[in-house]
Amino acid sequence: PLFKKPACDWMLVGLGNPGAQYARTRHNMGFLALDLLEKQLGADKEKQRHQALCASAVWHGQKLLLVRPQTFMNASGLASRLKHYKLPPERIVVLFDDISLPVGKIRVRPSGSAGGHNGIKSIISALGTDQFPRVKIGVGAKPSPDYDLADWVLGTVPKADQPALQTALGHAADAALCLIEDGVQAAESRFNGLKVCTEGAGGLRRPYLFCLGRKDMEEKTAGGKKKTAKEELRRNKLHIPHPVRR
- Residues annotated catalytic, as ranges: 27
Pairing relationship of beta strands 218-220 and 226-228 according to DSSP bridges: antiparallel
Alpha-carbon span 155 to 221, nearest angstrom: 45
Contact present, 108 and 191 (Cβ < 8 Å): yes
Pairing relationship of beta strands 52-59 and 47-49 according to DSSP bridges: antiparallel
* CA 64 to chain CA centroid, nearest Å: 13
Dihedral sign for Cα atoms in the order 154, 160, 161, 162? positive
In angstroms, the first-to-last Cα distance of the chain is: 40
Largest CA distance in the chain: 61
**Buried (b) or exposed (e) across 153-184, using 16+ Cβ within 10 A?**
bbeebeeebbbbbbbbbbbbbbbbbbbbeeeb
Alpha-carbon span 233 to 167, nearest angstrom: 15
Alpha-carbon span 168 to 191, nearest angstrom: 10
Phi, psi of 114 (to 5 degrees): -70, -25
Pairing relationship of beta strands 52-59 and 62-69 according to DSSP bridges: antiparallel
